[in-house]
């Protein structure tokens, strides 16, 4: 437990952490969902918090309030919408586009629609590429 706690505060951000911070900076109306709870993307400078799917009800309520403004939702390693937050966002904002990053084909999310995209592979490689696309 101590080792995990030390890792939370150690300066060991990855390319994916830096990319999340850059995406949020470049596209303030983007929403990023992750199950990663190490907060390294905030350490890299994200001004708008990334939504951790294990967060409490009040966090998901804030996300729902931003639903009308969101243009892009990026999910990382999130195969299910078990809290129905994504479903709510899609119903509230049909123009919302989702880009889901997943490691393998058998973990493709069940919440994607026909206008959404999936990227299969390592988020350490693909999130920095997404940064280039959203900044371009």
pTM of the model: 0.69
The answer to whether residue 31 scores a pLDDT higher than 50 is: yes
* Rounded CA separation 43/22 (Å): 12
- Which listed CATH number (3.40.630.20, 3.40.50.720, 3.40.50.1220, 3.40.50.300) goes with 2-135? 3.40.50.1220
What's the whole-number mean pLDDT along residues 46-60?
56
pLDDT averaged over every residue in the chain: 76
In 3D space, the residue among 12, 13, 16, 14 whose CA is nearest the CA of residue 127 turns out to be 16
Structure confidence by residue, pLDDT tens digits, 89-118 = 888 888 888 999 999 999 999 899 999 999
* Rounded CA separation 63/78 (Å): 16
Q: Please state the domain extents for the chain.
A: 2-135
Q: Quick one: tokens of 118?
A: 């999936």
Q: Is the distance from CB of 75 to CB of 100 less than 8 angstroms?
A: yes
């Amino acid at each position: 437990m101590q080792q995990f706690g030390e890792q939370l505060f150690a300066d060991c951000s990855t390319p994916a952490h830096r990319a999340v911070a850059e995406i949020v900076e470049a596209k303030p109306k983007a929403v990023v969902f992750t199950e990663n709870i190490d907060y390294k993307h905030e350490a890299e400078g994200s001004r708008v918090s990334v939504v951790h799917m294990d967060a409490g009800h009040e966090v998901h309520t804030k996300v729902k309030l931003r639903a009308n403004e969101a243009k892009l939702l990026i999910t990382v390693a999130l195969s299910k919408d078990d809290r129905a937050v994504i479903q709510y966002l899609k119903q509230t904002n049909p123009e919302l586009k989702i880009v889901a990053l997943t490691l393998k084909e058998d973990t493709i999310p069940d919440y994607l629609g026909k206008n959404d995209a999936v990227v299969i592979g390592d988020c350490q490689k693909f999130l920095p590429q997404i940064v280039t696309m959203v900044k371009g």
